Structure 1
């Protein structure tokens, strides 16, 4: 089953968030310390991912063009609107933390090497080991996020399932025509782009001046296009 790993990942986020909501009696000082500790760990993870890129110029161009498109389309604003819409549907007071939790958790769980590589493994080889490992990590992370940011974290399971599921299904078709060398380069450059976004998420968690990470998401698609052009030009 191609979507097995993706479904398990979504369920792990929901269960973790459910547990986190019930741990909201954690003191504010403890929450702050834990969130900043996660922020530091996320930055280290992002740096590790960013260094995996083989053609860093492609990464820079992708992020620049992605930022232009993201700001023009106001992706982060629209994600916040989705969270606010869910909040209104649940008859919660406007201005709460649901939207913040939804956006923060969605970005952390979606933007990353494990989401991409795990989904590709599911599609290419029907191997779900990477996504199952990610499920454990996301489950524990969602406990902390939900305890701090509320029920919005639970709804992040929806875009995670849609995103990873789409990649896994697309991979079953891509493998039929994409050369392996091209595929390896795409994965490495997307990992680098995602790593830089992860660093930005970590800085946001530390309370630094806010970076609109969601508005950089188009960089992932641009990276794929640039790698395909680069690979064709240099006949990889």
Structure 2
């Protein structure tokens, strides 16, 4: 009997509801709150990233995974593809809801949208939570994350509009894929590989925090492939080089 991925469903639903509520309230949310909380979310993302980075086993494979993954992302122009999809979805949403958010500058809009897309879909907490639920059936990590995602999505939706709601779709796909592949992936890994994988995710979270806070616009989406090559590179490095 296939277990229902409760944590995955609740997490994605929290983004959907938070995004809708934030966009619906819009200007009703005080300006000070809309300005200050994204900075808080940014520094929280940085803190989560640092906490994940310090768990790494070996620095060289982590850096190599980041470079190789980023190169792949740049070559296939992953972030540009996300922006094209976001533009395509943005137009019909504006017609349906008669609102496109408070950010008129399209570049600024995409900066923030891609940042929170990575925050919701590629966070270490979400990836770890989905894998953990898939292996053990324990959804507590994703349920806890859902509270944070609800308020984060709500605040960003006051500026970005109903577009934030659409993030629940790729988030659901990513988390569900991890949930069902957990029983296949985790038996082939060890603690060292998971530690290096977690560290790569931490670097992405740190870069996401800088981007959300407006400090530096890292091409986060183009860095996502680093997550897919992290464990293979960690394994190869430990097997053939760091012997």
When normalised by structure 2's length, the TM-score is 0.86
Shift of 1:91: 5.0
Count of aligned residue pairs for this structure pair = 232
Task: Choose the corresponding residue for 1:39, options 31, 39, 42.
Answer: 42
What is the match of residue 20 of structure 1? 22
**1:84 touches 1:99 (CA, 8 Å); kept in 2?**
no
CA distance change for structure 1 residues 169 and 95 in 2, over 3 Å: closer, same or farther?
same
Cα offset for 1:208? 2.0
DSSP 3-state at the match of 2:25: coil
The separation in 2 between residues aligned to 1:135 and 1:29, in whole angstroms, is: 24
Q: CA deviation at 1:100?
A: 5.2
Aligned to 2:5: 3
Partner SS for 1:210: coil
User: 2:65 and 2:177 mapped to 1: Cα distance?
Assistant: 21
Once the two structures are superposed, the pairs formed by residues 42-57 of structure 1 within 5 Å of their partners are: 42-57=45-60
Instruction: Give the whole-Å Cα distance in 1 for the aligned partners of 2:124 and 2:37.
Output: 23
Is 1:61–2:72 an aligned residue pair? no
Matched, 1:121 2:132: yes
Distance in 1 (alpha carbons) for counterparts of 2:207 and 2:234: 23
Q: Tell me, what secondary structure is at the counterpart of 2:218? A: coil
Note the 1:165-176 alignment, pairs <5 A.
165-175=176-186
Given that 2:111 and 2:211 are in contact with CA atoms closer than 8 Å, whether structure 1 keeps it comes out as no
* Offset, 1:111: 2.0
**Retained in 1: the 8 A contact 2:129–2:141?**
yes
Aligned mate of 1:83, from 78, 82, 86? 86
What does the per-residue CA deviation read over 1:79-115, in whole Å, with 9 as the maximum and x for residues that have no partner?
1111111112335589757755542322111222211
Change in 2 beyond 3 A, CA 1:89/1:19: closer
Measured in 1, the distance between the counterparts of 2:241 and 2:148 equals 38
Alignment correspondent of 2:222: 215
Residue 195 of structure 2 corresponds to residue 184 of structure 1: no
CA distance in 1, matches of 2:32, 2:132: 40
Deviation of 1:65 (Å): 0.9
Rate the CA distance shift 1:29–1:174 in 2: closer, same or farther, 3 A: closer
- 2-structure distance, mates of 1:221, 1:47: 20
Give the corresponding residue for 1:199: 206
Secondary structure of 2:18's aligned partner: helix
Alpha-carbon offset, residue 11 of structure 1: 0.6
Q: Aligned equivalents of 1:101 and 1:200: distance in 2?
A: 13
Q: Give me the whole-angstrom Cα distance separating, in 1, the residues matched to 2:17 and 2:174.
A: 19
- Runs of 5+ consecutive residues of structure 1 not aligned to the other structure: none
The alignment partner of 1:54 has SS state of coil
Contact 1:124 1:171 in 2 (8 A): yes
Measured in 1, the distance between the counterparts of 2:24 and 2:92 equals: 22
**1:228 matched residue in structure 2:** 235
